[in-house]
Structure 1
Amino acid sequence: MRDIIAKISLTALLVLAIFSASAAEKVTFEATSPLTVAVGTPFRVEFALNAMPDDGTFKAPAFEGFDVIAGPAEARGQSIQIVNNAMTRVINYTITYVLLPQAEGNVTVGPAEIAVDGTTYRTKPLPIEIVDEGKAPAANAPQGDPQRREEVSGDNSAQSRVAKDDILLRAIVSRTSVYKGEPLRVTFKLYERVPVVGYDEVKFPSFNGFWAQELNTDNARRQRETYNGKVYETLVAKEYLLYPQQAGTLTIEPAELTAVAQVIIQSRRNADPFFGGGHDFVNVPRKVQSPQLNITVKPLPAGAPASFSGAVGTFTMDAALPPERLAANSAATYTVKISGTGNLTFVQAPKLTLPGSFEQYNVKTTESINTSAAGISGYRQFEYPFIARAEGTYDIEPVEFSYFDPARMQYMTLRSKPLALDITPDTKGGGDAYVVPGRGMSKEEVKLLGQDIRFIKLGNAQLRPVREPFLFSTVYWILLFGILLLFAMIYAALRKQIRESQNAALVRGKRANKVAVQRFRAAKRYMEEQNRHAFYEEMLRALWGYMSDKFNIPVANLTKENVREELHKRGVSAEASQRFTAIITKCDEAQYSPAASAQMSEVYGEGVDIISRIEAVIKR
């Protein structure tokens, strides 16, 4: 009976965990199709959902400009995986259509609709370019040796598959005319109509005359756009916020890179006796460059207020004033908080004017700044600590902060409330504090009368030598305390060593770098033997194994996203995290791609370098 109850409970918990895992996953509904298709050539359009839909809620688009020759074909599937008590459930629901283009031109497949638990989801429209391949000019036949003629023909065929405008690099700016200090956004975007397997010789401009802030593009996804009448897959390569530091015409130099496109050509050497010919994968490099852009930077208008220090944007100011009544020789703080959007990084502390009898200390600055495509926003807070040394009544002038608002094209001045301070006598009875004219006094310089003068003993002094025994003397207690402290330190060190040896996760973390070095040595040996598959396999084991040992995460649960998250928690820069994931991607592509675009020596050097940099940051 107990066994039956235990089995029922376990089954209920398993079902509850499955539904919990399914409910926690975000629902996505996406459509996929080729970028370009030929007239009269059928192709597939797939609508993929990662959840089970409500029955009868799927609505297909009209498919104008196409003939539907098959579909809809539904496919359902799910899988459950449990690793270290962590359950993962994956659901796949796909609806497929086979379409036949009617005529050349640009046609858009409209959005499809489906409902999951009463919520409606829609796909994005899919632009598709329909071309007439019969209008393409025939290639000139090469002359000479038959084998050489076949190789040249294959190269020419591969080159002809990648047109001049099949890969583009554009620089897109949010505006071309700004004021000095006003931000603008520049986006370097890749436009591709052919499969690209890698990028080489990547070079971005140095932005002379600008202060540049790179934006995070790690989560940028490929999208489909129509440009110059053609359909492209686009990807944001880099994005920056630029703050011009001088007036005039500033130039954004071109960015450039070499994209490696991969095309499939017919091969006579690999001919199949049953199906005719084989196919070869050929890498075709294409060097692309963005155009040079000129930005007009207008100078700030004349007549800036005296409290203007270069702030450009939209800001507000809050001031937390000290109490209006203070005792002499007591400390207080005047706080000013400037919030808003603009060049917050360059905002300086406003000037606070205090009476000469006040002792003012260095300004403490705290900030919270967020960088996004819309600009830099957040706040900077300035704390002015001071000590009122002399009693009396003082009028403190308001704090002023001025900034230039580009939207209004004028200077704006913010002011705090005026403050009247009433400094009462020191309640501790310390007497009046003496203030040195012309400068503030430090706390060490302020001495209260009666404590800095000692009375001189009068009369004949009766002095005699005193020899203390060693036992219970000062030296005795110092030595005893030192010995006890030494034993306590040794005991603590031994206990720590025992705990660390028993902590398998800590031992793995400490040995992570050593194990990675051993695997890098094995990878180098495979590289020298030109064993390409074994080399990339060993490199992946070294990189993933290092992260698994260092963060105590099983290799099966490691993903690029949680690796970047763990590295960010330990202070590793986003650039180093991006480099690590790029090396992983390069190894994966080189291991499974028929024609690798990466050199083993380059991959080996980058892998060793990034692990060394990460280890140096984590050990810090």
Structure 2
Amino acid sequence: MLKKILLPVILLLLLFTSVLASAETIYFKASANKKTVTLSESFIYSVTVSGDSTNLPEYKMDAMPEFNRFGTTVSRSISVVTGKTSMSVTRDYTLGPKKIGKFTIPPAKITFKGKTYLTESVEIEVTPAQSVKSIPVVANRRQLSSQNAAAGKAFVKASINKKTAYENEKLVYKFSFYTNVDLVSNPEYYPPDFSGFWNDGSKPKNHFEVIDGSNYRVDEIETTLYPVGTGLKRILPAKLKIDLMNFSLPSGMNDFFSFFADNGCAGDGETKILETESLEIKIIPLPKDGKPADFYGATGDFEIKAVVDKKDVRINEPVTLTVTVSGSGNMKSISDINFGVYNDFKKYDTIVESTSGNSKKFKTIFIPLVSGEKEIPAASLSFFSPLKKQYETIKTSSQKIIVSGMSLHTEENVEDKLKIDIMHKDINYNKRIKTLKLYRGYLIEKPVFYLIFVPFIMLFILSVCYAVYMRRVSRNPFKKLKTLSFAEVQKLVKEAENRISENNFEASLDLLYQALIEIINIETGTKSDNLQKNQIIGNLRKKNADDEKIIEIIKMLERFDFYKFASVNLDKDSINALLINVETLILSFKK
């Protein structure tokens, strides 16, 4: 009895194992390019999704209160090996710490076909910003403070544009060097330790100023800072090492800040160390009331505008929307923009095209799916305005475009649909099956019989019904029409082979795409050129196409879309793999 039960159980296990083996598998991982960073540094947090599918799930980063997000880049790669396509998508997030300590970035999470995938958590240690190196000074030379230097006609000042500011608000630290004496060599500037601030770079400038009747040359360095964290912050003194000679500027010395590339000039002088006062700034947190759901840390005062690269397009022709954010604030903290509902379009990932001091450009590709006058939705940005002391959301105007191409709801399509229904009834003839008399012997006395053998009986009945159905289809005149149509498809495939031999891969891609569309047209009995994927699936299922064939067709359509719109160069191996897939599909539908 045990042997009689064991064999069917093994067969069932083998059946279920084969089904599981054929399922698409994806891989999900996260990593950081640094394990330890200082408070003034940034690091790259990378999330990669890969697998045997061209329809990978999109990862959305959750809010991270311990870090600022400065930008996002997306990269894709695709490979085709022996007809099997695999794809990988990597998102790199530039993050900056808000405070010192050890932090754990929690596991990233995505869902694919009902299954949840988690990455490993990532550990990041944030240390204080590196302090300024000690200043080398000759021991036997007199060192003066900034007050004494003022009497010697050379002194320094430090200032900041605000004493109280919000977290991530733009601050400008200014170091000023006043002099009306000759210098033996170029000065050496030692900036303060900007610990607790994000340093966005410095720029020099100079001018002349009259103080107490004396004319001074003033050289300045302005450093843009963004406070990280809240509380009272202190900027330590900046220092400047100079060698004084006499009371006139040397001829030819036009730019004090060229000292970074000069070793000095001949002559001796008195070495002095000039030092500024330390500065204190109170950093207050952003208010919690009125914070928009799509606020990600942008602080400043911004404007936003959008423009499309074309106004008249055809269905499935890409449209590039460029969104420019400009204004005063931390552009690096603007990591993404938001869009409204876009039902009539397929949207690709938004990428950062460029970032300058006062502006940032984003590019997004939209694919129109429906003909007519359509609107690309408005882009929006939420930020906190320190000037108005409140949150604001700004939007672009929606972009109107004219989409041409075959409409999905014309009278011609309605007539075609009626024809499809009639043909469906003709082909789908179901023969009534008489009631079966079940065997009443020893085998069915045990309940395990129903668990093991009933599925096999059902499979056998379905196989017989399918064989009868295919036999009737082969006698139908419509089957002969399909045979003639497949001859035209094979001509397209043959022409594609010729183009491949000439290394004209783009032309061969178009021919193979036409062949694939013709296969769908033949199988569904209607034009499918401008239909969406869900409509194609519905038409194929009405014609009782196998799920395996439907999945293969959708995969191939996605693969063609990828080669059309992604920045991927076609090679001979990739186009040959597509050729083999189309030929295999022809054979499967002709059976």
- TM-score after normalising by structure 2: 0.38
- TM-score after normalising by structure 1: 0.37
